[in-house]
Amino acid sequence: MYNRGIRGATTIARNEEEEMLSATLELLKEIVKRNEIVPEDISNVWITVTPDLDATFPARAIRGLSGWDMVPLMCSTEIPVRGSLPKCIRLLVQVNTNKGQREMHHVYLNEAQSLRPDLSVK
């Protein structure tokens, strides 16, 4: 069994609590669905936001999901790189799996598709 990382990112329009929570859930649920994983398979989730997002901790959205109470979650702020994509939420979901690196399905939604167009589903 290997520990693999699955990347994901999305953007929101406004720095508002409900929008941050909703977008975080949408992104996580899509990662889980595309990769056919369950919380028990997840070793941890790193969540980062750009410095312009400070309305809430995105981990709050995940902590409310059934079965996710024992999954370690960590929030952080992205480094403030000039010209980077604003209002962006990123996830790094680390899973224990027998799948190979190329079998992981990364998820980029909304304006975040511009970060990795090679990995974005059309």
**Binding site for prephenate: what residues are annotated?**
7, 90, 108
Structural contact between residues 6 and 99, judged by C-beta atoms closer than 8 angstroms? no
Q: Is 90 a catalytic residue?
A: yes
Catalytic entry in 90, 102, 103, 111: 90
Catalytic entry in 4, 30, 88, 108: 108
Catalytic entry in 19, 26, 78, 111: 78
Catalytic entry in 63, 88, 102, 103: 63
Q: Is 19 a catalytic residue?
A: no
Q: Is 7 a catalytic residue?
A: yes
**Binding site: what residues are annotated?**
7, 90, 108
Catalytic entry in 4, 7, 30, 88: 7
DSSP, residue by residue, 53-122: --SS-THHHHHTSTT-TTS-EEEEEPP--TTPPSSEEEEEEEEEESS-GGG---EE-GGGGGT-TTT---
Q: Is 108 a catalytic residue?
A: yes
Q: Is 2 a catalytic residue?
A: no
What positions carry a catalytic annotation?
7, 63, 75, 78, 90, 108, 116
